[in-house]
Amino acid sequence: MPSKEVPEIVIGRLPIYLRALTYMGQAGQRITSSQELGETLGMSSAQIRKDLSHFGEFGKQGMGYEISYLRDQLRRILHLERTWPVALVGYGDLGHALANYNGFVAESFEIVAVFDNNPDKIGQEVAGKKVQDSAKLSKVVRERGIKVAIVAVPVAAAQKVVDMLVEAGVKAILNYAPIHVSVPAGIRIQYIDPIAHLQRMMFHLE
Amino acid sequence: MPSKEVPEIVIGRLPIYLRALTYMGQAGQRITSSQELGETLGMSSAQIRKDLSHFGEFGKQGMGYEISYLRDQLRRILHLERTWPVALVGYGDLGHALANYNGFVAESFEIVAVFDNNPDKIGQEVAGKKVQDSAKLSKVVRERGIKVAIVAVPVAAAQKVVDMLVEAGVKAILNYAPIHVSVPAGIRIQYIDPIAHLQRMMFHLE
DNA sequence: TAGATTGTTAATCGATTAACAATC
DNA sequence: TAGATTGTTAATCGATTAACAATC
């Protein structure tokens, strides 16, 4: 039965389950089980059943889960039945790669605005969008009601950009700048930190 | 005092501490405390002291930590006193951005070889390196003794590429392909999954 | 029905926090 | 010395796992 307080760590695994179900569905499969999902994802079946139990009962004893149904439910739970417009701030190499990435839409996101403060970059076109002056960030984000942003600016600019985004109404930020930024309560932030991932693995190497 | 079994979650935080110390040092600061570090990083001072205590005693009561000393110790613990040569597999937009990123060296990594299987890309030059045919991956990785790799290929190719890398002697893999790949015991793998990070935040949005 | 797998409970395991003696 | 902060212990908190009754 659904409970009030779902642990963040559980919510963080739902997109992983969703993706595995999508792949299975694309392969023409109709039914799966917690055991099969666990093997596919390298985790225990008990954990998958426990995680799902926070949100409802989606399977049938003896049968497992209907893939399309469970997938629909996870998309509903995660609010992925709509497409979220996203602002991208920072048009360096990384920003360029993100702006060109055409896999966002299938995952419920679409970069609708790109910002940079470098005059050489402002006005450049990427994937049908013109890079805009960061000075217009607040106005554009507010007018379009954008709630989600990706930050791909240098460390020195990250906190200021995040402050501007929050001020303009953004509620969820994906931050690629390798620094901790402060956000008010109620604003979500996630970090992408490949260097930290590489470095932690070196602990185990000679 | 150092213990034998350091939790993975603790090891994962060391690069975060290291980076904060680097920034403090660059700003000319000489001493810090667990409290200041905690405020900088949005975590408790107790956790920082507890984490560090797995590896030794690095501070002085009443004084705190000497930044350059603690930084050196963390670099030693994480095996970051050397530069690790890295193989990059996949030269799409993301691979291009990674190959051009010039921040790796300061963090103890250097991309020394880039691979792709697309004839149009093979031979292109990037940051002083030629993109090589993936068919040469095993040979090059083995000959150069490369132990670290970054995988930025499509989902359909990821498991095969990882298998090749492991076979060629790679021990640590940073995987950008949005799929779980299996590796033998003793091989480290970390995932970079921006979509999953975005999606999990949408749970909290309307 | 017989077999299989869920949803859930209770036990186990592990991580974080609070508190403080030690000590610089 | 007096004040400050570490390193560590014990308590608390939270997550994972194992087991199984329920049931498709």
- In degrees, rounded to 5, the angle at the alpha carbon of residue B61 between the alpha carbons of residues B34 and B59 is 55
Composition of chain B by helix, strand, coil, percent to 5: 45, 20, 35
| CB neighbour list of residue A110: distance below 8 Å, 6 or more residues apart | A83, A84, A85, A86, A104
Distance CA(B60)–CA(A116), nearest Å, equals: 45
pLDDT band at A2 (very low <50, low <70, confident <90, very high): very low
| pLDDT (0 to 100) of residue B1 | 41
Tokens of B109: 């990594």
Chain-chain contact of B188 with A204 (C-beta, under 8 angstroms): yes
pLDDT at B36: 98
Question: Are the C-beta atoms of B77 and B103 separated by less than 8 Å?
Answer: no
Q: Does A44 touch chain B (CB under 8 A)?
A: no
pTM beyond 0.95: the answer is yes
CB < 8 Å from A in window 146-175 of B: 147-148, 150, 155, 171-172, 174
Q: List the B50 CA – D10 C1' distance (angstroms).
A: 14
Please report the pLDDT score of residue A117 as a whole number.
98
CA-nearest of B130, B26, B170, B152 to A94 is B152
Distance between CA atoms of B179 and A70, rounded to whole angstroms? 19
Provide DSSP, A175-189.
Answer: E-SSS-----TT-EE
pLDDT 10s digits, B54-77: 999 999 999 999 999 999 999 999
Kindly report the average pLDDT of chain A as a whole number: 97
Q: How far is B162 from chain A (nearest CA, A)?
A: 16
End-to-end C-alpha distance for chain B, whole angstroms: 48
Q: Which two tokens stand for residue A40?
A: 């596919």
CA distances to A147, B156, B166 from A172, in Å: 6, 30, 37
The pLDDT score that the predictor gives to residue B73 is 98
Q: Which three-class secondary structure state does DSSP give residue B112?
A: strand
CA-nearest residue of chain A to B40? Answer: A180
Residues comprising chain A, all counted? 206
Q: How far apart are CA A95 and CA A101, in angstroms?
A: 10
Kindly report, residue by residue over B102-134, the tens digit of the pLDDT.
999 999 999 999 999 999 999 999 999 999 999
The answer to whether some atom of strand C lies closer than 7 Å to the beta carbon of B44 is: yes
Rounded to the nearest integer, the mean pLDDT of chain B is 97
What is the C-alpha separation between B136 and A34, in angstroms, rounded? Answer: 39
Span A165-182, average pLDDT: 98
Which of the residues A80, A181, A202 would you substitute to probe the B interface, choosing the one with the greatest number of B C-beta atoms within 10 Å?
A202
**What are the tens digits of pLDDT across the range B152-198?**
999 999 999 999 999 999 999 999 999 999 999 999 999 999 999 99
Residue B4 has pLDDT above 60, yes or no: no
